[in-house]
Structures are given as C-alpha cells and as structure tokens.
Homo-oligomer: A and B are copies of this chain.
Amino acid sequence: MKKRVSIKDIASDVGVSTALVSYVLNNKKEGRISKEVAAKIKQAAIDLNYVPNQIARSLKSQKTNTIGLIVADIANPYSSQIARIIEDEAQKHDYSVIFGSSDESAEKTQNLILLLLNRQVDGFIIALPEHAEKQLSYLNGIGIPFVLFDRYYPEIETNFVAIDNYKAASEAIQHLRDNGRKQIGIVSYETSLYHLSERKRGATDLLQDSSMVVNVRINHLDEDVKEGIDKLLNIEDPIDALFFTTNLLAISGLKYLNSLEIKVPEQIAVVGFDETDAFDLFYAPVTYVKQPMEELASQSLKLLLDAIADPETKQSVILDTELVVRKSSVL
C-alpha cells in the first residue's frame, strides 16, 4: 500500500511547521493565522489527498471516539436493529462503533471487554448475559463509562436503558383476558436474566396457576418448546392462549402449532414479543409487544456520551412498550 500522507508532508509541501498545519486543519487559533498560509495548507491537504490519522490523534488525546457495542448476537434482528440505530446516532457525534457478540456467555463478554479495552474504546454499550456480575464490577472497577441496555442488574447502580418488562407482560396477559381467554400459557426461558424474569412475573402475577409456565432451555429451544406446549395442551384445563416472552420462542412455537394444525386464534390465541417479518407473514398476523427501538438505542448512546463527559453521572431510563394488536389474539 502506498504510504499515507501525513501532516509532515503537507508542512514540507507548503513550507511551514507541522504545528501550523495541525492548527489550520483543526481550525484552532483561527484569526491568529494569516489567511494566505491557512488557504495554502488547506489546499495542499486536498491536493495530497490527506486523511488525518485518527490513531495518532487518539494516542495524544487519549480519546478514540470509538464505542464498544456488545450484544448477544449481531445476527439476531433485535441486536442488529439496535446496532443500526446506534451506528447512525454515533456517527452524528463523530463516533465509530466496534461490535462484538457475546452469545449470552459471561466469559465471552469478558474477552470482548478486554479486546475492546485494548482498542481503547471510550465507553461501552452492553447487553449483559446471565451471571455477569463479575464483568459488571470489573467495568466499575476500572472506571470506564458504560451503559447497560435491554438487560440490567437492578441491585447494582449503573447507567441503564430498558423497557418496563413487567408492565409489558401484564398488558399482554390483560389483553388476552379481555378477549375471553381463560387458560393462558407462558413460554419463556429458564434463566435468571432480570428482564425475562420480569416478563414472567408480569404475566404470572395476573394468573392464578403458575404451572402454566414453560421454561425453555435456550440450547434446547425447539425441543423444549414442543414439549412444553404439548404439556399445556394436555392438562385438565388445556390452554386457549399462549404468550411468548421472546421473538425466537414465538417463532419456534408458531411453527409447532402449524405442524399440529392448531388454528390461531380460533383454538389458541397468541401474543409474541418484539417485531419480526415472520409475524406479518403468519396467516393470522401476530399480536406482539413492540419495543421502542429508536428510543432504546438513542437513549443508550445519549447516556453513554453523558457518562463519557462526566463519569460520575449514573442515569437510568425505563421505557414503555406498546401492544400491537392483530388477528392472532382476537376472534
């Protein structure tokens, strides 16, 4: 590759010091530099196709204008939608984004944190997996600005942005009841993740019989979904509705209902969580809990920038969801 042109090349081209070039290109000391020289420098920069070396600048300034984004899996639509919005917002503020996928593993999260710290990111936006208390306190320990989103640990003080999961689930269940459903099954994950527990709690608090909850192991998703639904269909008072607490669970469950030729909503009413094209294409478009993605992402970035500006601030934002009612839950 050709040698990149540096400030030095411009300086020698114009016949001034590198300091002057730097001042001009950064619009520092305006008015205190003769217009002719400034113009010559700017022209030379263009002529030589100069691209500033952010690495060198970062080393000096101790700021990389880069943020680390750790999601569960960038291939998951929820994560990639968030990533996209953060990308756009970050760009507005002159930040770049390096991302990493944790696969819901605390260990991978730790590796990613180290890797990104290596890259001297100015801060993190993180969706933390289960059992990541150690990582949380590590981040707190080194004092790097960070914001949790989607998931958070209520007992530890941090910056975070999340939705009101309890309320979201309550509303979903209430909606099913308002539409005459009596036996509502909940399909969720077997997890200690706070946001999912809250969804479960929001749903079950409205229901009497907690045995209607299916706890799916994430690495046996389809299998456990099938088994769980089978169970709920074969109890004394079989279910007439299902609430899925995540996207992936809903897709898996709907496929299974299809294979059983169970009619939605006639036999089973369905409510899902999060938006997906798949819900639209289902013969009975699926009612779902819609998260305010734009807000989630942009607030996460805002809080991070605030934290970078002042590491002492700790802010939290809890956003409301919206139940988008469609055919799958209404007769």
With A99-B99, A283-B283 in contact, do A49 and B142 touch (Cβ < 8 Å)? yes
With a cutoff of 8 Å between Cβ atoms, the chain B residues found around residue A64 in the complex are: 55
Q: A74-B80, A276-B278, A278-B281 are in contact. Are A51 and B1 (CB under 8 A)?
A: no
Contact status A81-B87, CB under 8 Å: no
Q: Is there contact, CB below 8 Å, between B51 and A114?
A: yes
In Å, the complex CA distance between A258 and B280 comes to 10
Interface stretch, picked from A25-33, A117-125, A162-170, A235-243, is A117-125
Are B97 and A51 interface neighbours, CB within 8 A? no
* A156: interface (CB < 8 Å): no
Are B1 and A66 in contact, with the CB atoms below 8 A? no
Interface positions, chain A 111-149, Cβ under 8 Å from B, are 114-120, 142-145
Docked pose: A83 CA to B2 CA in angstroms: 28
Are A118 and B277 within 8 A (Cβ)? Answer: no
Bound-state Cα–Cα, A282 to B278, Å: 8
Distance A83 CA – B81 CA, assembled complex (angstroms):
13
- CB pair B54–A56 under 8 Å, yes or no, is no
A51 to B114, CA, bound (A): 7
What 1/0 flags go to A27-52 for Cβ under 8 Å of B?
00000000000000000000001011
Task: Say how far A52's CB is from chain B's closest CB, in angstroms.
Answer: 6
- Smallest beta-carbon distance A134→chain B, Å: 14
A84 at the interface (CB under 8 A from B): yes
In the docked arrangement, what's the CA distance between A87 and B142, Å?
26
The answer to whether residues A53 and B120 also contact, given A278-B280, A280-B255 and a CB cut-off of 8 A, is yes
Q: Choose from B49, B96, B142, B276 the contact partner of A119 (Cβ within 8 Å).
A: B96
